[in-house]
């Protein structure tokens, strides 16, 4: 007859085996907390779809929207969130926290716009107010880069989260110079009476949004991070193959229920434009992309020092991405 200790050991082994057989959602006591420094919008629909698919894979996700990318980044640094969305290169260099970017979600494809009743070109913005998404954002970086290239200095930089919000502010006259996305630019062309103009920015290769997290979190939650990366890649590739699928997937997952009716027709054209422009990388990032970021954000003033001397490993880890690419294939 087996002793009590032996029976206990066997029961523990059986319980442990049953625990391993459970889906991740049944085992995970706490959700993965993601901090997104933006408002839910057409531009973030693909990300919201990928989050729903991640949840369906058994990874509980708690998504919180903050008013700016820098606040979202601070939430990750302070431990209030596990994963952030943005490009906090300046913060990582300054704070030296064990935070690393691990997935390139999108590249910069923005449209600097001015009200031609006041301005015609970059030189006209010398000493004037401009509006960008948030402190440390790609929109701010572009504005700073163009000020440097044009030899000007803005009088004030205002932070107005959300391309839709900035587009509306242009139409209402509250903002006279800002950056919008392709959907916003189309709306300005349709309803602006011909008074809005795009300013040239030339060739820009840099990340707009990426995922980042504490290295300890990525190590202890490798499975969850890998599944999230997988679903991002799957979603990006599905949309690249058929941009019209975004409209149907939005209905399937009941996303952006409060989206203004006038913006609904912009969903598919926005993703058609984005796919054509290569805005959403199908490989989740690479060392080449990171070095492009170094060059851009250094010129824009958000990274200090010679870009050639910056080390990829000080800012990025590719472990979750490589795990995902091994599952879904490389492109």
pLDDT per position as a tens digit, 229-257: 999 999 999 999 999 999 999 999 999 99
Smallest Cα–Cα separation from 139: which of 155, 160, 154, 124?
Answer: 160
Residue 201 to residues 108, 109, 193, Cα–Cα distance (Å): 11, 10, 23
Q: What pLDDT, on the 0 to 100 scale, is given for residue 15?
A: 35
CB-CB contact of 224 with 32 (8 Å): yes
Measured in whole angstroms, the distance separating CA 38 from the mean position of its chain's CA atoms is 9
Smallest Cα–Cα separation from 92: which of 320, 324, 293?
Answer: 293
Strand order from edge to edge, sheet including 111-115? 156-159, 129-132, 177-180, 111-115, 196-198
Q: What pLDDT, on the 0 to 100 scale, is given for residue 183?
A: 83
SS3 state of residue 181 = coil
Q: Give helix 245-253 / helix 267-277 axis angle, nearest 10°.
A: 130
Backbone angle region of 313, left / alpha / beta, with phi > 0 → left and psi within -120 to 50 → alpha: alpha
pLDDT per position as a tens digit, 62-105: 999 998 888 999 999 999 999 999 999 998 998 888 999 999 99
Q: How far apart are CA 145 and CA 209, in angstroms?
A: 18
pLDDT at 26 over 80: no
Q: How far apart are CA 225 and CA 61, in angstroms?
A: 11
Q: What pLDDT, on the 0 to 100 scale, is given for residue 301?
A: 84
pTM of the complete model: 0.79
Measured in whole angstroms, the distance separating CA 50 from the mean position of its chain's CA atoms is 12
Tokens 């392709």 belong to 182
């Amino acid at each position: 007859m087996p002793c009590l200790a032996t029976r206990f050991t066997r029961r523990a082994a059986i319980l442990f085996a049953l625990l391993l057989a459970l889906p991740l959602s049944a085992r995970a006591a706490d959700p993965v907390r993601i901090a997104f420094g933006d408002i839910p919008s057409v531009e973030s629909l693909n990300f919201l779809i990928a989050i729903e698919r991640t949840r369906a894979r058994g990874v509980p996700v708690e998504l919180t929207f903050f008013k700016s990318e820098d606040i979202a980044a601070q939430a990750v640094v302070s431990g209030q969130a596990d994963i952030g969305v943005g490009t906090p290169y300046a913060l990582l260099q300054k704070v030296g926290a064990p935070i690393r970017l691990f997935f390139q979600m999108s590249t910069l494809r923005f449209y600097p716009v001015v009200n031609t009743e006041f301005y015609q070109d970059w030189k006209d913005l010398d000493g004037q107010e401009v509006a960008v998404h948030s402190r440390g954002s790609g929109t701010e970086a572009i504005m700073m880069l163009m000020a440097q290239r044009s030899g000007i200095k803005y009088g004030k930089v205002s932070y107005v989260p959300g391309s839709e919000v900035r587009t509306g502010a242009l139409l209402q006259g509250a903002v006279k110079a800002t950056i919008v996305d392709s959907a916003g630019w189309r709306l300005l062309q349709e309803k602006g009476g011909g008074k809005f103009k795009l300013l040239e920015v030339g060739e820009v290769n840099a990340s707009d949004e990426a995922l980042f997290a504490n290295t300890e979190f990525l190590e202890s939650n490798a499975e969850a991070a890998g599944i999230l990366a997988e679903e991002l890649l799957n979603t990006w590739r599905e949309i690249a193959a058929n941009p019209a699928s975004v409209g149907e997937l939005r209905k399937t997952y009941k996303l952006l229920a409060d989206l203004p009716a006038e913006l609904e027709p912009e969903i598919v054209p926005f993703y058609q434009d984005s796919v054509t422009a290569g805005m959403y990388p199908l490989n989740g990032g690479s060392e080449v992309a990171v070095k492009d970021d170094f060059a851009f954000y250094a010129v824009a003033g958000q990274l200090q020092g010679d870009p050639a001397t910056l080390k990829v490993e000080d800012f990025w880890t590719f472990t979750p991405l490589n795990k995902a690419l091994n599952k879904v294939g490389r492109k």
